[in-house]
Amino acid sequence: MMRFLPIGGLAGLVLLLSACGMSERKFFDDLYEYTCEREFDCYEETAEENWDDEEECMEDYEDVKEDGLEYFQGCKWDRKAAKECLEIIEDLDCDADEDELDDFADACDIYEIWDCGEEPDEDDDEGTTPVEPTEEPTESPTE
């Protein structure tokens, strides 16, 4: 006799299996898909100034995604943290309050999703420490 899962159980199983198999690339795809969707749902006028549609928005994020995948190569990937981030994002709506946005910021801390050792300093540009000038700049001669 064949047994069937109830619809809710089947949906939960599909969600569980897809979360277990989530790759870093899939995480970025879902993250940027949500971002573009939210731009058009919540900030339509601004979004339409930048892109024709959500698909064009997603295309713009391709380079960002590839840069992110390259940057985090060799770092420890936390699928569970990525899944939690996406779950919170999916629950956000255009009227999210400050607490919901704080939960989103905490859950989607990129350095929690990828552990690369130390986090770069906030003042660092692309993970490099800015070099302080050793001398006062000289004024250029006036003509």
Kindly list the domain boundaries of the chain, sorted by start residue: 21-115
Percent of the chain with pLDDT over 90: 36
The confidence score (pLDDT) of residue 122 equals 53
- Is the pLDDT at 93 greater than 60? The verdict is yes
Residues sharing a CB contact under 8 Å with residue 57, sequence separation 6 or more, in sequence order: 32, 35, 36, 39, 40, 47, 50, 51
- Is the pLDDT at 95 greater than 50? The verdict is yes
pTM: 0.61
* Residue labelled with tokens 């159980």: 9
Residues sharing a CB contact under 8 Å with residue 74, sequence separation 6 or more, in sequence order: 116
32 has which bridge partners? Answer: none
115 membership: H or E segment, kind and range: strand 114-115
Instruction: Report how far residue 40's alpha carbon sits from residue 51's, in angstroms, rounded to the nearest whole number.
Output: 9
- Is the pLDDT at 36 greater than 50? The verdict is yes
The confidence score (pLDDT) of residue 15 equals 36
115 has which bridge partners? Answer: 76
* Residue labelled with tokens 């930048």: 50
